[in-house]
Amino acid sequence: MSVTLIHNPNCSKSNKTLQLLRDNGVEPTIIDYLSDPLTTKQLSNILQLLALKPHEFIRKKESAYHSLKLEEASLPDEALIQIMIANPMLIERPIVLSKGKAVIGRPPELALTIL
């Protein structure tokens, strides 16, 4: 089974999700999206799999969200995707991909629902 984890090693939820996968016998392909940024196509595909719009997926508590005044902006989806690509900390995580499905590991146990 092929499983990919879009991972931030400094995020407790991301680390818990990784450990949960490993505890269940799954060694995922890990993409540290901060050091290996997602492409526009990858992020768009993830959003499609999650059935979410960018404004539903963006991390609203990050300082970049406020410094870019995104709470006040009414931007099209494509513009928000480009902002998330340029500021990857705005991308919600962890994301688990498997079998043509995706889930956000919040709580980490949700990762097991697509295995």
- pLDDT per position as a tens digit, 61-81: 999 999 999 998 899 999 999
Residue among 61, 54, 46 at smallest CA distance from 4:
46
What tokens appear for 59 in the block? Answer: 């991390």
- pLDDT per position as a tens digit, 18-55: 999 999 999 999 999 999 999 999 999 999 999 999 99
Structural domains present in the chain: 3-114 (3.40.30.10)
- pLDDT per position as a tens digit, 80-103: 999 999 999 999 999 999 999 999
Known catalytic residue at 11 = yes
d(CA 2, CA 67): 38
Is residue 107 reached through a cis peptide bond, with omega within 30 degrees of 0 on the bond before it?
yes
Strands 3-7 and 95-98: antiparallel
Structural contact between residues 93 and 62, judged by C-beta atoms closer than 8 angstroms: no
Catalytic residue among 4, 11, 32, 37: 11
